[in-house]
Amino acid sequence: MKEKFLSYFLLFCAVGLSATAAYYSVLGLSVLFASVAIPVMVMGSFLEISKIAIATYLHDQWKKTYTGLKIYLTTALVILSFITSLGIYGLLTTGFQENIAKMNISDKQIANVEVKKKRFDDIKTELTAEKSTLDKDISQLRNALSTNTTTQSVDRKTGQVTTKANTGNRKAFELQLKEAQIRRDTISSKIDALNDSIINLDVQVLNMESETELGNELGAVKYVSELTGSDVKDVANWFILLIIFVFDPLAIVLVIATNQAFNNLKPKFNIYSEPKPIEPEPTLEPEPQPIDHSVKIAQITQEINKIQRSGATGRKIAAAIEPLQQRLRNLKKDDENQITY
Residues 129-161 have pLDDT tens digits of 888 888 888 888 778 777 755 555 444 555 454
CA–CA dist 9, 185 (Å, integer): 81
Least confident of 46-50, 115-119, 173-177: 173-177
Q: What's the confidence (pLDDT) of residue 276?
A: 59
* DSSP code of residue 62: T
Is 6 a member of any domain?
A: yes
Q: Are residues 240 and 330 in the same domain?
A: no
Q: What's the confidence (pLDDT) of residue 216?
A: 56
Identify the CA nearest to 14 among candidates 256, 251, 244: 251
Q: Are residues 312 and 242 in the same domain?
A: no
Least confident of 87-101, 109-123, 197-211, 325-339: 325-339
Is 308 a member of any domain?
A: yes
CA–CA dist 118, 126 (Å, integer): 13
Contacts of 340 (CB under 8 A, 6+ apart): 290
Is 277 a member of any domain?
A: no
Amino acid found at 199: I
How does DSSP assign 128-181, residue by residue? HHHHHHHHHHHHHHHHHHHH-SEEEEE-TTT--EEEEE-HHHHHHHHHHHHHHH
Contacts of 303 (CB under 8 A, 6+ apart): 324
Q: Are residues 75 and 7 in the same domain?
A: yes
Is 172 a member of any domain?
A: no
Is 189 a member of any domain?
A: no
Q: Are residues 52 and 92 in the same domain?
A: yes
Is 14 a member of any domain?
A: yes
Element housing 76 (H / E): helix 67-147
Q: Are residues 7 and 92 in the same domain?
A: yes
Q: Are residues 238 and 327 in the same domain?
A: no
Q: Are residues 7 and 62 in the same domain?
A: yes
Domain boundary among 245, 265, 285: 265
How does DSSP assign 266-293, residue by residue? SPPB-TTSPBPP-PPPP-PPPPPPPP--
Q: Are residues 241 and 303 in the same domain?
A: no
Per-residue pLDDT, averaged over 63-71, amounts to 86
Q: Are residues 36 and 97 in the same domain?
A: yes
Burial of 326 (0-12, 13-18, 19+ CB in 10 A): exposed
Residue 76 pLDDT > 70: yes
Q: Are residues 6 and 60 in the same domain?
A: yes
Per-residue pLDDT, averaged over 231-251, amounts to 81
Q: What's the confidence (pLDDT) of residue 161?
A: 45
Q: What's the confidence (pLDDT) of residue 293?
A: 66
CA–CA dist 157, 160 (Å, integer): 8
Q: Are residues 11 and 97 in the same domain?
A: yes
Domain that holds residue 77: 2-105+228-265
Is 321 a member of any domain?
A: yes
Query: What residues pair up with 162 in beta bridges, in sequence order?
Result: 153
Is 195 a member of any domain?
A: no
* DSSP code of residue 36: G
- Give the CA diameter of the chain: 182
Identify the CA nearest to 224 among candidates 240, 236, 209, 242: 236
Cβ-contact 97, 240 below 8 angstroms: no
Q: What helix, strand, coil percent values describe the chain, rounded to 5?
A: 80, 5, 15
b/e 151-163 (16+ beta carbons within 10 angstroms → b)? eeeeeeeeeeeee
229: left (phi over 0), alpha (psi -120 to 50) or beta: left
Q: Are residues 8 and 91 in the same domain?
A: yes
Query: What would you report as the CA-atom Rg of the chain, rounded to the nearest whole angstrom?
Result: 53
What is the chain's mean pLDDT, rounded?
Answer: 76
Number of domains in the chain: 2
Neighbouring C-alpha atoms within 13 Å toward the C-beta of 90: 18
